[in-house]
Amino acid sequence: MIEFTWSEDVKLDGAGFGALAGTFLPLHCGGTLVFDGSGNFLHMALVMPTEERRKSLLEYADYLVRTGNIGMADGSRGIGAPEAETHRIRATVEGNCLQLQRNAAMRHASPGVRRGRPG
């Protein structure tokens, strides 16, 4: 079995993305090739960078911004430092590439609700 991956950058363009505007989200792609013990090809599965997947990724980012479920990590406290307001998704930017990380402590929070006060 051979697995391969790559990512393509999708730009978050427009004022609707707020602080995330101008950054790039990775669109993860890849595939798996399966061979038998003699090296004969058996199966292939691919996840390609289609326009539909790019659109879905942009819609997801838009949803996170609109509902207040995403917050920018404060780099002045160091990479990975928790922020004062807790969001379901924490965004960190290196260069202009965006990385999203779920906050496990907020996994049961309702969308748009931050800890301690309604959104």
Q: For residues 112 and 67, is the Cβ–Cβ distance under 8 A?
A: yes
3-state helix, strand, coil in the chain (%, to 5): 25, 40, 40
- pTM attached to this predicted model: 0.71
Of residues 27, 14, 25, the one with CA closest to residue 99: 25
Quick one: average pLDDT of 30-45? Answer: 97
Which of 74-95 are b and which e, b meaning 16 or more Cβ less than 10 Å from the residue's Cβ? eeeeeeeeeeeeebbbbbbbee
pLDDT at 39 over 90: yes
Task: Report the percentage of the chain scoring pLDDT > 90.
Answer: 45
The alpha helices in 67-113, defined as continuous H runs, are none
Helix (H), strand (E) at residue 57: helix 51-66
Confidence of residue 2 (pLDDT cuts 50, 70, 90): very high
Q: Give 46-86 pLDDT, tens digit per residue.
A: 999 999 999 999 999 999 888 888 877 755 444 455 554 56
Tokens matching residue 78? 């160091």
Give the residue carrying structure tokens 């363009």: 13
Domain ranges of the chain: 2-106
